[in-house]
Amino acid sequence: MSGARENAALAWSAYFTAAVWASLGVPGAARFDTLRGRVLHQAARWGGSMLGLRGDHSVTSLLLAARHLGLGALLDEIAPEQVIELAAGLSPRGAEWARARPVVYIEVDQAAVIDAKRRLLEPAQPRGELVLVAADLREADLGEALGAALRDRRTAVVSEGLTGYLDEPALRGLLRQVRRVASRLSSCVVLMDFYLRDGAAATPARDAGVPGEAWLRKRALRSMLCRGLDDLEHLRTLVSSEGFELRAAHTARDLAVRAGIAPPPLELFVIAELAPARSGGDAVR
């Protein structure tokens, strides 16, 4: 994918996911719901109906719901004092957390997305500390972009929906940047989603009654513009080589249970829970 097409894909996906979250009633999401996003969401629902799927949401939408709400549930469990969200898009989580919690919430994204978010936030600026940082992480250094906004607090670095756009060299570069930032912090955990071409790390949802699951998984990866890794072992090797321990790999079903929503009809990704590596290797629980 060329740089121009990739930038366009990132921008369109931000509008689409915002519409999905608004349709699900995610707190604060209506503020970021736009006509462009609603058109994209409706097209996805029509596509799901053509595949014979019933209900108000496409497979892609159900996966996005599990990812977003499940990641939020994981953050609730970790209870960080500082969150750094990479490629935050039009997610409402940062504004909601900054409004309601004693947390520094830093969002990093491309300048066009940050500008759009600032405009949408203006009518109801959140209380607390929401810091918006404009930076293209394919070119900018994350540590330099964060600058004085980065504080030595109990920190969670979050990446939702970014890694699927990156080939492996770019993904390694991102992990190195995050590792350098983590080295400046006394306490840091990383929550990052990875799309796996084998259908995630656990038993795929073969009892969900979805015809042609392997074909559907490929189509879902394409519709979400995701490249993906081969399998969990590929993920484990990748993050270990870049200085992280893989503490846990949360599947879509696990995330849906944590969030209290219906599970999606197939497995496509995991949210990896990473920590800076210590001696003795890594272990996945």
Q: Mind listing the pLDDT tens digit for each residue in 116-153?
A: 888 888 665 555 689 999 999 888 999 999 999 999 99
Q: Which residues contact residue 103 at a Cβ distance below 8 angstroms, ignoring those fewer than 6 apart?
A: 80, 81, 82, 83, 97, 128, 129
The distance of Cα 53 from the centroid of its chain, to the nearest Å, equals 25
Neighbours of 275 (CB within 10 A): 16
Residue 6: is its pLDDT beyond 50? Answer: no
Cα separation of 35 and 45, whole Å?
Answer: 15
Mean pLDDT in residue range 231-256: 95
Provide CATH code, domain 56-276.
3.40.50.150
Q: Classify residue 234 by burial, with Cβ atoms within 10 Å: 0-12, 13-18, 19+.
A: middle
In the chain, where are the structural domains located?
56-276
Cα separation of 34 and 73, whole Å?
Answer: 26
Mean pLDDT in residue range 38-52: 64
